[in-house]
Structure 1
């Protein structure tokens, strides 16, 4: 066959636009072989005949990794600049426009992140830690999310909920508005609806839901504040983290303009969208390092 599980490949029929890892090779009754593919940096699961695959050599892989790293660092820099400006503004207003020498403290929003891909979850948790967002991560297959969401909501009581993993739209299974044509959009929609039964107000529980090519409109109608994918394009594995970080570090007295939250993501408005939403950050003072 020439290919095996773990190989890094791309697809000729899509001009080698996305790099995948082969997770499984299935032999069909017709005798040919079908590879199950998971995106290396985008939240996409796909399949392809082995004849459509090409191996990605070390040089090309390194080039793509370097390009991605540069984009990530740029987005992270812009996000941190936003956080710094928000912090300075909040402290200035909170002290009635006077300088205050005592230390203040900040309580960012607490996140529960459900992910259908353990490797992507690890990447997201690493970035949350780097940014300083308090988070609980749970690996959960997309089909199992509706069964587990109530238990997890009760356990973690999050301010922000992320429901993501893998998804894909297949035009051979139905029209673009047919949920049956999507791999996991129905699972995400069910999970959002069940989470909303716990907390109905969209400013008291903020939800991001979806993955590559997900049915954006259904996720918003189900109760998500932000979702993918308005143009049914692929989203980057770390895009949910940038949205959550912006919400987590925006004061609860401020509303977040949708464009302000999308502009620092890697996919922007074609892959992500949402509704006007309040932040969840709270500030206090003074901050004491002991129990005096």
Structure 2
């Protein structure tokens, strides 16, 4: 079967461990190659067409079902954490439930830049399900450093996500070499540009990175949280769980890194960061226009 643009494929040499879609076909030294995006993992790869096999519907559905179960588990665990956070804040705001002044809560606003439009849509759907206010934009990773400044000026978010696709290539250097990564250098530059606007780590919380990204460089550039400490693949929705936890943690509370990453699909091998503050704020009084007096 001929491999075409948008075909859903696996790599024979990797025992079809990850489902990819073909996003570009090209010739290198006369040999036909495909550029691949992971269907569920934020990984970009290239492979000769001869190494690719089109995935049958049953295999794709089986892998999708397995990941869907993991997504649902992560969502339920996150919802439990969210309820506990909001209940604790309610207890504090009402002085141990002895006062009944109506109040409202404002979670942090997110600006999400994503190098994959399909992943962006999945993320925006999850933000909506969780209840996090967000502005999302598809942006090629190479263009992110040029776009981040104007977006920050216009939207003034409390949290920024800088993500897309990435990959480490052993043929290009050691794991410590930034140039050995597909898009890590662009993520690093985008973080640096964001920090020119908001230098302090608690002024703007930043998540940056994708599959196998150069974690240390992203943290040194000014990211609060990043991928990937052990250079493994991260799930498409992991950035959402990271920043949603931050969005619903009160601004006066510090966030333990383990508490942030424990309910993600990837865990601490693919995600990490430094101690940061939450951004949720509580206000009062709450009065809904239209309610009867």
TM above 0.5, yes or no, is yes
Q: Give the aligned partner of residue 264 of structure 2.
A: 265
Query: What secondary structure sits across from 1:236 in the alignment?
Result: coil
Q: 1:20 maps to what in 2?
A: 20
Aligned-residue RMSD, C-alpha: 1.3
Q: How does 1:86-165 map to 2 (within 5 A)?
A: 86-165=85-164
Displacement of 1:102 in angstroms is 4.2
Secondary structure at 2:188 match in 1? helix
1:231 aligns with 2:226: no
1:149 offset after TM fit, Å? 1.1
Aligned to 2:215: 216
SS of the residue corresponding to residue 172 of structure 1 reads: helix
Distance in 1 between the 2:262 and 2:29 partners? 47
TM-score when normalising by structure 2: 0.97
| Structure 1 CA distance for aligned equivalents of residues 67 and 29 of structure 2 | 39
Aligned to 1:56: 55
Q: Distance in 1 between matches of 2:61 and 2:185?
A: 36
In structure 2, distance between residues paired with 1:99 and 1:165: 47
TM-score (norm 1): 0.97
Partners of 1:290 and 1:183 in 2: how far apart?
A: 51
Q: Which runs of 4+ in 1 moved over 3 A?
A: 99-103
**2:94–2:100: 8 Å Cα contact kept in structure 1?**
no
Unaligned runs of at least 5 residues, structure 2: none
1:141 & 1:121 partners in 2: Cα distance? 12
Q: Please, which runs of 5 or more residues in structure 1 have no aligned partner?
A: none
Distance in 2 of aligned mates of 1:121 and 1:110: 16
Task: Please name the residue that 1:252 is paired with.
Answer: 251
Tell me the secondary structure at the aligned position of residue 230 of structure 1.
coil
